[in-house]
């Protein structure tokens, strides 16, 4: 392993994957999906960003999702938990808080993983930032797209993609500008994304719509 590769500690990686899988499974259950639908939503929510990163962008052979059985096992476990415990799961003391915290940690962590893999591969800075964003937010977008819904991420709301974007900027500045080691840069970035995300949630700061257009231009032009 080259010295500039940053690996998430397994408990962190698996914790975030499990948390995102449970979130996805709960969304599927609330929509009235059956076993298969709930599993697919859990799978895409937790591993979709990495699948897009590996399968569509970096293209270095079989995606990580398929190389080890851990991720699929975690998704299966999350699906089983939601099927068996259902609503009782969400009323566990501290459950929602844990999900929100792990979610905010995972956001920065997967952005870092995507950027780090891209830099190792020799991609330029904007490309590495794009891959980081895809890794962090692609699962949520794919989950909406695959079920025929508009991703909430596109609309004004609490900082989420914006938090990831700030983190991408911080990581690139640390790595390329200040030559910080991958591990130090990673943890600083994860902390910054966590603070921005949780600050937005706690203090209710939101993004705003870019503009309101009233003209009809572009309304129904199916541009390629």
**Which of positions 189-218 make contact with a copy of itself (CB under 8 A)?**
207-215, 217-218
Stretch that binds a copy of itself, among 5-13, 48-56, 166-174, 184-192 (CB under 8 A): 48-56
By CB under 8 A, tell whether 169 contacts a copy of itself. no
Mention every residue, 6+ apart, whose C-beta is less than 8 A from residue 149.
none
Query: Of the two residues 67 and 184, which places its CB atom closer to a copy of itself in the complex?
Result: 67
**Closest alpha carbon to 100 in 188, 213, 23:** 23
**Angstrom distance (rounded) from CA 122 to CA 147:** 35
The angle at the Cα of 72, spanning 69 to 74, to the nearest 5 degrees, equals 105
**Closest alpha carbon to 191 in 133, 116, 107, 131:** 107
User: To which residue do tokens 């257009």 refer?
Assistant: 213
By CB under 8 A, tell whether 176 contacts a copy of itself. no
Considering only residues 131 to 160 of the shown chain, the ones binding a copy of itself according to CB under 8 A are: 131, 136-141, 143-157, 160
Q: How far is the CB of 142 from a copy of itself (least distance, A)?
A: 9
| Residue from 12, 81, 90, 195 binding a copy of itself (CB under 8 A) | 90
**Angstrom distance (rounded) from CA 192 to CA 41:** 28
Query: Of the two residues 184 and 221, which places its CB atom closer to a copy of itself in the complex?
Result: 221
Q: How far is the CB of 194 from a copy of itself (least distance, A)?
A: 13
Are 182 and 5 contacting, i.e. CB atoms less than 8 angstroms apart?
yes
| Residue from 15, 63, 114, 182 binding a copy of itself (CB under 8 A) | 63
CA 156 to chain centre: 18
Q: How far is the CB of 3 from a copy of itself (least distance, A)?
A: 22
Number of amino acids touching a copy of itself (CB under 8 A)? 100
């Amino acid at each position: 392993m080259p010295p500039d590769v940053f690996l998430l500690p397994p408990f962190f990686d698996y914790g975030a994957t499990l948390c995102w899988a449970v979130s996805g499974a709960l969304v599927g259950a609330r929509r009235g999906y059956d076993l298969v639908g709930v599993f697919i939503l859990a799978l895409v929510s937790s591993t979709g960003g990495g699948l897009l990163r590996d399968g569509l962008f970096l293209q270095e052979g079989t995606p990580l999702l398929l190389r080890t059985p851990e991720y699929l096992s975690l998704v299966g476990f999350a699906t089983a938990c939601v099927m068996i415990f259902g609503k009782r799961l969400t009323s566990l003391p501290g459950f929602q808080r844990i999900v929100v915290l792990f979610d905010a940690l995972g956001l920065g962590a997967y952005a870092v993983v995507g950027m780090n893999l891209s830099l190792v591969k020799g991609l330029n800075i904007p490309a590495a930032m794009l891959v980081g964003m895809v890794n962090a937010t692609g699962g949520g977008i794919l989950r909406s797209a695959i079920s025929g819904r508009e991703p909430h991420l596109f609309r004004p709301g609490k900082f989420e993609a914006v938090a990831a974007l700030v983190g991408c900027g911080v990581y690139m500045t640390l790595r390329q500008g200040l030559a910080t080691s991958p591990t130090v840069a990673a943890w600083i970035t994860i902390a910054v994304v966590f603070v921005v995300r949780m600050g937005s949630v706690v203090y209710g700061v939101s993004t705003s719509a870019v503009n309101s257009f009233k003209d009809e231009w572009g309304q129904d032009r199916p541009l390629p």
